[in-house]
Structure 1
Amino acid sequence: MAKYTFVRILKGILSAVCVVVLIMVLVYSLMDRTTIFAGDPNYSKMQSNSRITYEQSRYKAFGYIDYSTYSDYIKNLFSSGEIDDATRSDAMKIGVTAEKASDTANEYIAKFTQEYESQGYTITRLDADRKKNGQVKDGGQAVIYATRDRPLIKRVVSYFADLIFFDNVHYVDEATDIGPRTLTFTLYDPVYGGTKFSPAIIGNGTMHKYLLYFDNSFPFIHQNFATLHLGESYTVNRGIDVFETMTTSQGSYILKDVIFPTGHTEKSADDLHTATYVAGSLEQSAMYATRFVDDYTNTITHKNNMSKMGFSFVIGVIATILSYVLGLPLGLLMARYKDGLLDKIGTFYIMFIIAVPSLAYIFLFKAIGGSVFKLPTTFDMDSGTKAMYVLPIISLALPSVANLMKWMRRYMIDQMNSDYVKFARSGGLSENEIFAKHIWKNAAIPIVHGIPGSLLFAMTGAIITERIYSVPGAGNLLTQAINKYDNGVIVGVTLFYAVLTVISNILGDVLISMVDPRISFTSKGR
């Protein structure tokens, strides 16, 4: 069993990698990259050279190219101490044309060109875009930059290398004076004023201030030693990782008395346990200076509702349980009383679900539920009523009920015609005993394999159902990303789906081997 599971996991990982590679080929090679600007409000406002440099910066952000500007090159030389302030100022005088550049600028432009061309970059100079009177247009300043297309293999390796981030005390730039780079264990968490017994591990020099902590939110113990990065969003939730987008709480802020590291107390929604490092933030903000003692100032806020994945999972799991509770017994009864009234009604329902488009019957359920039973037809996080869950759950469950009824009935009828059933009848067993002890168990075996997948894929949400009922779940995330050409989200969500598929198949195989003793994943040599 262990060997089989290991091989399946290995093949699953390979399959997930292949899926990501395929999606990257489709997204980065076969689609027109200029489509990323279709819904970009900043792009339409830009003109002249600034538009061109903005294009390159967005291509870099979306993962199409490597991009670096001459001005950044000079800034890095100055930051590292290789040039002084006077040299930096003179090196930035690149002129409106190449002929107008200072001697110092020409010297460093040559160094910039040589360094980047040796790495396969193409150097581009845009002379100043001037009006007829010689004045430079808005956004028309001269610029020099280097670009290089990112090879697919580099893109894939980079993605998987950054998939899991392991926090460490060397995360903050080594040149930054932040004091001792340490991990400190405490039994009395400072978030609670240092008076409540609550173990925590606090870092300095790490990305996260808290590497381990306890609170009253599920799963109650939290760690930031290793965090999953599925890919950064560029448009759907700009600058936020896909996994964080799916798992961050939503709704209205929860305000409570918060004791900040400086001792300042105020009503706030800030979750100090989520504080991450932002270089220079303490000096740049007076508000931060009154609250924090270091640059661990970026926090996630407490909100009063579940995350996108949370909403999808709750609705999906309840719908899955409901579908199995109803679908399997009804399918069994249809087979038990084949061609009877119940079988005919069940067959009609199955045909209805198959024949009618899902969009149509979901709207039908919505109309009946709203007008007849006065149930909420849209999801309102602030209302707090549990009734808003009813229609989305029913709309998800009823098609699954029909599917389970159909297959359960079919498997039961197939088993009813088996030889072992005839022997059971000849042995004097009643029909009820035959159904309960033999037919039901054997017919349920193929159904069991799909249970883990049904539960796991509840986390991905249901696209149509969530859109119709305005559920703030994860189901709409992929369609939003496709519509907005958000490559990071497309790749990240695809990988998430692929991993869930692999896990559900493995769990399905394990579960079916537990139900059916005839199935074994071990082999014995002769």
Structure 2
Amino acid sequence: MWKTILRRFLVMIPQLFVLSLLIFIMAKAMPGDPFTGLITPETDPNRLEELRQAAGFYDPWYVQYYNWIVNAAQGDFGKSYTYKVPVADLIGNRALNTFWLSLLSVVLLYAIAIPLGVLAGRFQDTFLDKTVVLYSFITYAIPTFVLGLLLLFFFGYQLSWFPTTGTVDIAHEKGSMGYIWSKIYHMLLPAITYAILGTTTVIQYLRSEIIDSKSLDYVRTARSKGIPVRKVYSRHIFRNSLLPIAAFFGFTITNLLGGSIFIETIFGYPGMGQLFVQSISSRDYSVITALVMLFGFLTLLGSLLSDIIMSIVDPRIRID
């Protein structure tokens, strides 16, 4: 397995190289430049030209790309034109916020989806099953920004149960229990929103697999031997039904780590998704290219994680 994992990581290198070239060319093809937003009636055009010259904007594109890729290989993605700080530091701060939000979202997602999927599949065609299916249809049909705005309006503004922006209350000292609870409290509403929207696929896959497994030979054999129904479901049906979920579990993790553009923007949560939107608006090329490269790496990593998880859940599958 370890040889395969190393080989897959080596294959990522040319893939990321091609991705970086495409990203760089498309970023340069965007109209304007990072200094366009600095233009005011009092702006000195000569000063703008000096900034463009210093940033190397008039160098040939291949020279700019070479300089950028060499620096990126050393962990230097340049400096943000908007925030005036190194891109690596800026993304690092936002990535930490997105990581904790993603972790809470994954926990809530599977805490909701797995019980509902199991119950719907076990009690097929009952009122409970029909209720779960209706819930899945609604969460599948409703757009992310609509649900986010509804929850923010009712629970944030009308009921004032949750904060409506930010990551922590500045009144708490960093590292204290109050600070930790404030971080969790600020993440709850956006995490619940993402979890509700993400349960649809898991519920449907799990429900379908359980319904199909109930008629298989090994299940009928287990029940004919007098094994209690509860053990048949927990030891036989449930484990085999998890295989489709395990197949995309790696992508679920890495997609969450990439941040949710809609959710982070709606709830004013300073994560990587919100940073990506703000960077596009301000034409902050250095941040855009670094973020898209990171998202591409996470996608490739998600594929590898899914293969590893599948080999652990199902012993018949090996990635050697």
Shared fold by TM > 0.5? yes
Change (3 A) 1:373 1:413: farther
Q: Distance in 2 between matches of 1:26 and 1:378?
A: 32
Which of 121, 124, 127 matches 1:335?
121
1:42 deviates by 6.4
Match of 1:150 in 2: 61
Match of 1:26 in 2: 26
Match of 1:162 in 2: 71
Task: State the one-letter code of the partner of 1:12.
Answer: M
- Is the CA contact (8 Å cut-off) linking 1:231 and 1:492 kept in structure 2? no
Match of 2:80 in 1: 233
Q: Distance in 2 between matches of 1:6 and 1:57?
A: 43
Task: State the one-letter code of the partner of 2:39.
Answer: P
Match of 1:308 in 2: 94
Matched, 1:442 2:240: yes
Q: Which moved more, 1:482-491 or 1:457-466?
A: 457-466
Matched, 1:378 2:225: no
Which of 206, 231, 242 matches 2:87?
242
Matched, 1:403 2:201: yes
Matched, 1:416 2:251: no
Output one character per residue of 1:11-50: Cα deviation in whole Å (capped at 9) or x when no partner: 222222211111112122x333x35443123696124xx2
Match of 1:58 in 2: 52
Q: Distance in 1 between matches of 2:76 and 2:137?
A: 43
Higher strand proportion (structure 1 or 2): 1
Output one character per residue of 1:94-118: Cα deviation in whole Å (capped at 9) or x when no partner: xxxxxxxxxxxxxxxxxxxxxxxxx
Match of 2:39 in 1: 41
Match of 1:15 in 2: 15
Matched, 1:497 2:298: no
Q: Distance in 2 between matches of 1:391 and 1:44?
A: 43
1:383 deviates by 4.8
Gaps of 5+ in 2: 173-181
Q: Distance in 2 between matches of 1:420 and 1:324?
A: 27
- Is the CA contact (8 Å cut-off) linking 1:392 and 1:469 kept in structure 2? yes
Task: State the one-letter code of the partner of 1:243.
Answer: A
Give the TM-score of the pair, scaled to structure 1.
0.54
Give the TM-score of the pair, scaled to structure 2.
0.86
SS at match of 1:65: coil
Q: Distance in 1 between matches of 2:299 and 2:41?
A: 38
Task: State the one-letter code of the partner of 1:378.
Answer: T
Aligned alpha-carbon RMSD (Å): 2.4
Larger RCO (alpha carbons 8 Å, 6+ apart) = 2
Equivalenced residue count is: 308
- Is the CA contact (8 Å cut-off) linking 2:265 and 2:274 kept in structure 1? yes
Output one character per residue of 1:427-467: Cα deviation in whole Å (capped at 9) or x when no partner: 44443332212111111122123334433444332221122
Q: Distance in 2 between matches of 1:328 and 1:59?
A: 57
Match of 2:177 in 1: none
Match of 2:176 in 1: none
Task: State the one-letter code of the partner of 2:86.
Answer: D
- Is the CA contact (8 Å cut-off) linking 2:109 and 2:195 kept in structure 1? yes
- Is the CA contact (8 Å cut-off) linking 1:232 and 1:488 kept in structure 2? yes
- Is the CA contact (8 Å cut-off) linking 1:230 and 1:493 kept in structure 2? no
Higher helix proportion (structure 1 or 2): 2
